[in-house]
Amino acid sequence: MSHVRPLIAGNWKMNGLSADVDSIADLAARFEERVPATRVAICPPATLLMEMSRRLAGRGVEFGAQDCRMESAGAFTGDLSPEMLADAGAHLVILGHSERRAYHRETDADVAAKVGGALRAGLEPIVCVGEDESQRDAGRAVEVVTSQVRGSLPSALGGKPFCVAYEPVWAIGSGRTPTVDQISEVHRAIRRELLELFGESGRQPPILYGGSVKPQNAGEVFSAAEVGGALVGGASLLARDFGAIIEAF
Ligand code: PGA
């Protein structure tokens, strides 16, 4: 198990308007006391980062972005640099989410380059990996995930704060979750890979589980080996559900 604090991060995806910032203020009030033991983060759409981080500064909740470009500035219409996201109050950034890999054709090499940009700007990356259903059915889950870990994590990460999120594509938004044994198997394989890539410092990064985490299954998910927190999509949009997941850790 990692020696650093577990992280429960909410991935709002393309959801949320300024009116929704209030729900996070309520959540922060509820968790102010627990925050030292468990890190709690919200990754809202970039449009809300600045308002959320300003309103909730010093309240223990951290903020993250959902993607970034690797460059710091330039002619990239519509994109955001890691420096801009840090300036808007982000401390973390999700990279290589399967929705980015699928809809924007991001490769492991693209993700590794973005990780480099995130480090330059002082952002802590949450790097996502996970097999799709046909890969799992073919018995290739561990092979696919470890290859993504190798390809998406540049050596520059050694000794730096970062997280890996194991998110089986077939479990995202589907209401289906792997068994505890399946989660344990993949998380142990990721830890072995981190130790191989980064030596002893590979013991530190929390390995989050993501994919249909709900208040009803959080306790079971968190009982799996090497689970150092969660990346929560749909259930993070409801402060009550997200709060219950945090409490389950
Ligand atoms: P979900 O999404 O919790 O809605 O399945 C998780 C994610 O995509 O990060």
Q: Is the C-beta atom of 210 inside 6 A of ligand 1?
A: yes
- Per-residue confidence at 1, pLDDT binned at 50, 70, 90? very low
For the entire predicted model, the pTM comes to 0.96
pLDDT of 215 strictly over 60: yes
State mean pLDDT over 156-165.
97
Helices (H), the chain: 21-31, 46-55, 82-87, 98-103, 108-120, 133-137, 141-152, 180-198, 218-222, 239-248
In this structure, which amino acid lies at residue 95?
A: L
Residues belonging to the active site: 97, 167
- Per-residue confidence at 35, pLDDT binned at 50, 70, 90? low
Catalogue all structural domains in the chain, each as residue range(s) with its CATH number: 7-247 (3.20.20.70)
Q: Is the C-beta atom of 98 inside 6 A of ligand 1?
A: no
Q: Give residue 232 CA to ligand 1 midpoint distance, Å.
A: 5
- Per-residue confidence at 94, pLDDT binned at 50, 70, 90? very high
If you take atom 7 of ligand 1, which residue's CA is the nearest one? 233
Q: Give residue 103 CA to ligand 1 midpoint distance, Å.
A: 15
- Give residue 29's pLDDT: 80
- Give residue 3's pLDDT: 59
If you take atom 2 of ligand 1, which residue's CA is the nearest one? 233
- Give residue 28's pLDDT: 81
